[in-house]
Amino acid sequence: MNRRRPSRTFLRVFSAFCLVFMMTLTTLAIWSAVDERRGSEAEAEVLDVEHRGGRTFVTVQFSTSRGEVCEARFRAAVSANRSVTIGERIRVHYAKSDPCARVREVGDRSGWFIIVIAVVLLIAFGIMAYVTWRRPRPQLPLRYAGMP
């Protein structure tokens, strides 16, 4: 079966779109990590604990340094917090710009995983864009046409 290769124009447009998309996602992931670093920690009261197989989801209520009272639900990633019960107090970390929505446990480092994936995909799409946008190699002279 003779497969048709995608056109060079399609590959150029696709690679440019993917490169811009990954640059945007990488920028947003880095901004999110910086915003979380600028956040604060708080003492939170456990309102609900839900076990789903190997996963534990914890609902907590805490108050920010600005006086906002927030309630958040997240997956317990730190092994010490997987065995908490209702009414206990745990330490949580919240982001500066949106403290009630972006809450995680103190000691949870899973946010950096997304940045690593974004950078790897950015490099891969950068290589793909380079390959599709570079100038094609010139044809060999006719005197070398029949040579292996």
Neighbours of 128 (CB within 10 A): 16
Longest dimension (CA), the chain: 85
Highest mean predicted confidence (pLDDT) among 49-63, 71-85, 101-115: 49-63
Phi, psi (rounded to 5 degrees) for 104: -145, 170
Place of tokens 């790897």: 120
Which of 10, 7, 9, 72 is closest to 39 using CA atoms?
A: 72
Residue 141 above 80 pLDDT? no
Q: Which of 142 and 117 is assigned the larger pLDDT?
A: 117
Percentage of the chain with pLDDT > 90?
30
